[in-house]
Copies of this chain bind each other. A is one copy, B any other.
């Protein structure tokens, strides 16, 4: 099925500059896709550190299991990614396929096995032929270069309709560092740890321990605040690599070091940018929706309520129908299971208060709200009237396009 570029896609793809210490190459593996690259090798310079967050799914894929173990080492020399086959629910053969790829890459790059990270995305339950990956390694290594970021973002796509890229700069002490990120994902998006796949690299010099702390916080306010369909993937993987290649950096030993403030902001901002791009490519999406919940018992409760609204098929179809159906928002708040005061509930759509004190707002004029619902960008704000907890999540509408992509065919 050929899919048109999402109407919510950014006007242009952010071009990614080189990152010192990072080289990339892509090719076609012959595993599933024809006429496009679907295999990515990212090589990191010796001494690079790594942190990652992985799906909490109990049916996690073989590559996820491998990464979970390898992350303990905190060192990285390569990330190897294939699109089209998730190598998930493939039994022991799945882990053997991972080990075959890893061993070949480690040997070719003169690295330790636990310094090789792998990620696979695509069909679940189909054996992955690792031989096809191994065969391509020499060619990939020969063509490694610092400029292939945009090709890398394209090579990891599956049902995505546009490549997702983001880049930021920051200072650590007086030294300028850079961060690049790429991501893929369109359906099966309700990350419980990270999105389907995202890779971020920086030339900052940071120990793995510090990276882990920064990445965990960044994920919580980005990928973990998004949902397309409430279906958590078996393959969610977010990996952050730091080459340390930017010259003259101070030695940072703790995530609490005040000199990291700018870097943190840049990382949070970059991960949020990528996460929102994934939502903007939600399967069948016609509208991008921001849901801000305030007045909850805690920030965690606010997020649960916001996600209950974001995942409600009745809310999502109402948005698709350009219907300011706030009764369905009330329903979703009610089913979230978190403390809320029905009689102090306040709902605003597009900045206009539609309901307040447990009933429709006095003199509510639907005209400006109806106009807002016709747009591409929908803003819903809900105050649940019990405390100071707040959270913002991002989602898209539920349309005939989603049914068409996921239901109108036999695989």
**A–B complex contacts, Cβ < 8 Å, 20 sampled:** A57-B335, A58-B336, A58-B339, A59-B334, A59-B342, A59-B345, A92-B358, A94-B359, A123-B327, A125-B360, A127-B359, A187-B314, A229-B313, A231-B335, A234-B330, A234-B331, A317-B403, A321-B409, A370-B410, A397-B407
Given A234-B331, A360-B125, verify A408-B89 contact (CB < 8 Å).
no
Complex Cα distance A211/B327, Å? 33
Which residues of chain B are near A340, meaning CB under 8 Å? 58-59
Residues of A within 8 A of B (CB): 55-60, 86, 88-94, 123-127, 187-188, 190, 192, 229-234, 311-314, 317-318, 320-323, 325-328, 330-340, 342-343, 345, 355, 357-360, 370, 397-400, 402-404, 406-411
Complex Cα distance A398/B359, Å? 31
Given A89-B355, A327-B124, A342-B59, verify A406-B188 contact (CB < 8 Å).
no
Complex Cα distance A340/B57, Å? 10
Shortest beta-carbon distance from A370 to chain B in Å: 7
Complex Cα distance A86/B355, Å? 16
Query: Is the pair A410, B359 in contact by a Cβ cutoff of 8 Å?
Result: no
Query: Is the pair A410, B322 in contact by a Cβ cutoff of 8 Å?
Result: yes
Of all chain B residues, the one with the shortest Cβ separation from A409 is B321
Which residues of chain B are near A320, meaning CB under 8 Å? 403, 407
Query: Is the pair A89, B359 in contact by a Cβ cutoff of 8 Å?
Result: yes
Complex Cα distance A404/B320, Å? 10
Complex Cα distance A339/B59, Å? 10
Which residues of chain B are near A355, meaning CB under 8 Å? 89, 125
Given A232-B334, A334-B234, A359-B91, verify A406-B314 contact (CB < 8 Å).
yes
Complex Cα distance A170/B323, Å? 48
Shortest beta-carbon distance from A363 to chain B in Å: 14
Copies in the complex: 2
Given A93-B359, A231-B314, verify A190-B335 contact (CB < 8 Å).
yes
Which residues of chain B are near A192, meaning CB under 8 Å? 335
Q: Which of B230, B332, B398 contacts A403 (CB 8 A)?
A: B398
Query: Is the pair B89, A330 in contact by a Cβ cutoff of 8 Å?
Result: yes
Complex Cα distance A36/B355, Å? 31
Complex Cα distance A322/B408, Å? 9
Of all chain B residues, the one with the shortest Cβ separation from A336 is B58
Q: Which of B57, B58, B229, B409 contacts A323 (CB 8 A)?
A: B409
Which residues of chain B are near A317, meaning CB under 8 Å? 402-403, 406-407
Which residues of chain B are near A56, meaning CB under 8 Å? 337
Known contacts A124-B330, A231-B314, A318-B406, then 4 further A-B pairs from the complex at CB < 8 Å, ordered by chain A residue: A59-B340, A91-B357, A318-B411, A399-B407
Which residues of chain B are near A325, meaning CB under 8 Å? 411
Shortest beta-carbon distance from A381 to chain B in Å: 17
Shortest beta-carbon distance from A362 to chain B in Å: 10
Shortest beta-carbon distance from A410 to chain B in Å: 5
Complex Cα distance A358/B131, Å? 22
Which residues of chain B are near A126, meaning CB under 8 Å? 360
Which residues of chain B are near A338, meaning CB under 8 Å? 58
Shortest beta-carbon distance from A243 to chain B in Å: 33
Shortest beta-carbon distance from A88 to chain B in Å: 7
Shortest beta-carbon distance from A231 to chain B in Å: 5
Which residues of chain B are near A327, meaning CB under 8 Å? 86, 88-89, 123-125
